[in-house]
Amino acid sequence: MTTFTAESPLYFVMRHAEGNRILSERVPTLVNSPALHTLYFHEVGTILGTEEALQGKPRETAEILRLLGELEPEDLAAQRAAEAAADLPAPAGDYEPAQW
């Protein structure tokens, strides 16, 4: 199953941890752009095709799209629950009695 294609909205790619990492490493000018929020719902292929840092580099653009297409879907609910649990302190041992 393909997670992302050239037609996927940029926002969906950016919220995927590995997709975000790929774009951050390969196209930092895009990820750090002050106009990034205006591009979120455009197709990632269109964005990469117009990104100045990738002009004249069709192989690099194709490689980014290939990498994005190979990503596995994330279970966002499980990921958020795990991140939230990691931020919680362990409960005190004497918080509740052992028996009711």
Percentage of the chain lying above the pLDDT 90 cut: 63
* Element holding 14 (H helix, E strand): helix 10-15
pLDDT in tens, 1-10: 567 999 999 9
DSSP string, 41-100: TSBHHHHHHH-GGGTT-HHHHHHHHHHHHTPPPP-HHHHHHHHHHHTSPPPPTTSS-S--
Query: Using CA atoms, how far apart are residues 6 and 53, in angstroms rounded to an integer?
Result: 18
* pTM across the whole model: 0.72
